[in-house]
């Protein structure tokens, strides 16, 4: 089993990092490059950047900030936001991103997944899945989630979409459990376990991290490959070096970061 990944997520609006609760009330968290380097130095395994206004505004990701990040960052990073065709994906990857993630464009035109996989390889193609538990007890996906006023419900079951996306060429699934997003009460373990049973490619948990134990539960109980979080890292509530030491002590294999000296010394 490969080492589990700790992945800070940076929501980007107008070239700045922002953070909201359940996709609303965003506040400015700082400069995109400064935060990226902070997480690299803390031992993050990779970073995910979401241009949260791209899909709702029907535009592509702003490549200027991708280039700024790539010029300084030397760990893998993934970019999401308004990537609707192979040409845009190529521009983002050539700007320095290691992977691209699509959500709304894939739901609107599932064939895009296969086109991207054929052009760049499945290892570059991440499918973001925003999921909500509906009144009938089924998890279903949402699109256009960067703007809650424009969010749409395609009436597609989350688990069905995860299976379909893999068949089309998805190399990784990021499952964002929207009911838990930003509230720090823990990942949705029941949903993640159900997804894990259907997911043969790497699965990344997103939405709900509030304590180091939540990461351990996601890795140990839901068997996810990576855990993504934002608020607890941005606020300093959880330091990545401390988290990795905690996970290591809990018997979960993680990589020590290149400058996480505390972890290296402890090991």
Catalytic residues: 11, 130
Q: How far apart are CA 62 and CA 60, in angstroms?
A: 6
Q: Which residues of 106-141 are buried (b: 16+ CB within 10 A; e: fewer)?
A: bbeebebbebbbeebebebbbbbbbbbbeeeeebbb
Q: On the CB side of 133, how many CA atoms lie within 13 Å of its CA?
A: 11
Contacts of 165 (CB under 8 A, 6+ apart): 106, 110, 113, 127, 129, 173
CA dihedral over 24, 25, 26, 29, signed as positive or negative: negative
């Amino acid at each position: 089993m490969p080492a589990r990944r700790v992945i800070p997520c940076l929501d980007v609006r107008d070239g700045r990092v922002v953070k909201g609760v359940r996709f609303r009330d965003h506040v400015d968290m700082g400069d995109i490059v400064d935060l990226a380097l902070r997480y690299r130095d803390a031992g993050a395994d990779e970073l995910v950047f979401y241009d949260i206004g791209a899909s709702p505004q029907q535009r592509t990701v702003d490549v200027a900030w991708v280039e700024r990040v790539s010029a300084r960052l030397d760990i893998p990073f993934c970019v999401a936001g308004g990537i609707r065709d192979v040409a845009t994906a190529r521009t983002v990857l050539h700007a320095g991103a290691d992977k691209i993630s699509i959500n709304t464009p894939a739901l609107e035109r599932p064939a895009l997944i296969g086109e991207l996989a054929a052009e760049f390889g499945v290892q570059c193609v991440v499918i973001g899945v925003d999921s909500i538990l509906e009144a009938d007890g089924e998890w279903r996906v949402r699109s256009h989630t960067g703007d809650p006023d424009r969010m749409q419900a395609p009436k597609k079951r989350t688990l069905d979409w995860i299976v379909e996306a893999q068949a089309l060429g998805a190399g990784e699934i990021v499952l964002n459990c929207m009911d838990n997003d930003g509230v720090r009460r823990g990942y949705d373990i029941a949903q993640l376990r159900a997804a894990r049973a259907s997911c043969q490619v790497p699965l990344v948990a997103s939405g709900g991290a509030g304590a180091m134990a939540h990461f351990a539960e996601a890795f140990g109980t839901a068997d996810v490959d990576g855990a993504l979080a934002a608020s607890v890292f941005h606020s300093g509530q959880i330091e990545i070096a401390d988290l990795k030491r905690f996970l290591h002590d809990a018997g979960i294999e993680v990589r020590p970061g290149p400058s996480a000296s505390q972890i290296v010394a402890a090991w």
